Amino acid sequence: MEAPDTRDPAKPVRSRGFILGSLSVGHGLAHLYDFGLPAVMPTIASSLGLSNLQVATLHGIRMAGFGVVNLGGGPVVDTTRRHWGLILTGCMVWAALAFAVVAGSPNFGILVVGIIFLSIPGALWHLPATAALSQQFPDRRGFAISMHGFGSNIGNALGPLLAGALLGVLFWRYALLIYTGPALALAIFVWWSLKDLGRDGRAEEIRLGARFRGALELLKQPIIAVIILAATLRSIGLDALFHWTPFYLEEDLNASNLRAGLYLSLLTGMGIVSGPVLGAVSDRWSRKSVLVPCLALATAFSLAVVALGDSLALPLVLAAMGLFSFSLHHIMQAALLDVAPRGTEATATGLMFGINGAAGAASPFLAAVVIDHLGGYGSIYYYSGILTGLTALMLLVVPMRSSVRGPQPVA
């Protein structure tokens, strides 16, 4: 049932270009923080005397929290459309507080609490942001979501570099405390630019219970189920790479903090170059024409890493892998939203990220077993490569539209 139009004619409505830009900036700065943490983790582990199992536990807790927030948050976000700006602002404030807890952790137990807190804002941000972009850009969904990802890729690239540089001059606790101030400043920017997000259209009066039942109905659709499963396999492989690459570089290759941060930024941030291009190509041709060949290349590069050792080719291959890291996940998001009914965008996104997180919670422990018993930190690249190859095979058989351009944008 539709309620009367809730738009305020006296209030100016932001253009969709402004919304895309603001969401991308916020997303980028959020990832600047999120991807600084993996670069700091080897130093935290050394300082607190953590084992590989304890490090895996921290990664697993973060992934589990990410999954729970997404699974429960999707229907809630679809129901609270008029409060999307407040939700996004709260994400930034919460991130600042979470980094303060992590920075002040005196032992493993308090660090666990900090990691639980830290898993919430990054998970919650994607739900209103992706839903808004899907509704605003039905004609260029792949490009819009990739541009939102373009912001995150900048953060992914700069985050490890900033963390590595700070660790060169500061104790890790002080380095993390520095992150809290800009996060609070970012909250002010997000509130100013996005406080009216979600208030420019008609609100649908659908009860929360019906939203959750609708989520189960979405999962019963074969195409949606296969896309989510494929994205989950890919996400598990990527998470293993992002979390354990700093350990491989510093422990096996004796790289400095700064060099490890630089190499990790290549692995996580090269979507700056590829993301918008691949998104636009997927809008013009099809999601599958981009996803399958790029996943095949990502598989080959991952399987080649260990053989290269600490050679000049290593950063080049890590950069090549980075071209296909987050950029392909954004296109999988767009493929999912192509078939999700309007008004369920946050729910569908929450299902994808939530199931990724729930499955990913166990992945760090499996990765730790692989590392401890199947060849050390370098074996993680074979583990990730196999999962990426399986993702490519699954998406090869999923029917997708040859063109996804819609007739007109949403006002």
Q: Give the torsion through C-alpha atoms of 230, 234, 236, 240, to 10 deg.
A: 170
Predicted confidence at residue 313, as pLDDT, reads: 94
Identify the band that residue 61 occupies on the pLDDT scale cut at 50, 70 and 90. Answer: confident
Residue 198 CA to residue 124 CA, distance in Å, equals 15
Q: In this model, does residue 2 exceed pLDDT 70?
A: no
Q: Could you count the other beta carbons within 10 Å of the beta carbon of residue 312?
A: 7
Mean pLDDT of 21-42: 84
Q: In this model, does residue 11 exceed pLDDT 50?
A: no
Q: What percent of the chain has pLDDT over 70?
A: 92
pLDDT in tens, 328-380: 988 999 999 998 888 888 888 889 988 887 777 777 778 888 888 888 899 99
Mean pLDDT of 64-70: 84
Predicted confidence at residue 48, as pLDDT, reads: 92
CA atoms within 13 A on the CB side of 155: 22
Among the listed ranges 91-95, 118-122, 226-230, 379-383, which one has the minimum average pLDDT value? 118-122
* Residue 116 or residue 66, greater confidence: 116
* Residue 52 or residue 93, greater confidence: 93
Residue 84 CA to residue 34 CA, distance in Å, equals 21
Residue 287 CA to residue 279 CA, distance in Å, equals 8
Q: In this model, does residue 8 exceed pLDDT 60?
A: no
**φ/ψ bin of 309: left (φ > 0), alpha (ψ from -120 to 50), beta (otherwise):** left
Predicted confidence at residue 393, as pLDDT, reads: 95
Burial 267-285 (b: 16+ CB within 10 A, else e): bbbbbbbbbbbbbbbbbee
Contacts of 351 (CB under 8 A, 6+ apart): 70, 71, 74, 215, 218, 219, 224, 228
pLDDT in tens, 99-151: 899 999 999 999 999 998 888 887 888 889 988 888 888 888 888 988 888 88
State the residue for tokens 């989510």: 228
Residue 99 CA to residue 178 CA, distance in Å, equals 9
**Structure-token pair, residue 371:** 């590392």
* Residue 29 or residue 103, greater confidence: 103
Identify the band that residue 402 occupies on the pLDDT scale cut at 50, 70 and 90. Answer: low
Predicted confidence at residue 234, as pLDDT, reads: 94
**According to CATH, what is the number of the domain 16-197+208-396?**
1.20.1250.20
**Structure-token pair, residue 171:** 């104790």
* Residue 45 or residue 6, greater confidence: 45
Identify the band that residue 406 occupies on the pLDDT scale cut at 50, 70 and 90. Answer: very low
Q: What is the DSSP letter of 278?
A: H
Average pLDDT of the chain? 85
**Structure-token pair, residue 73:** 């948050």
Model confidence, pTM: 0.76
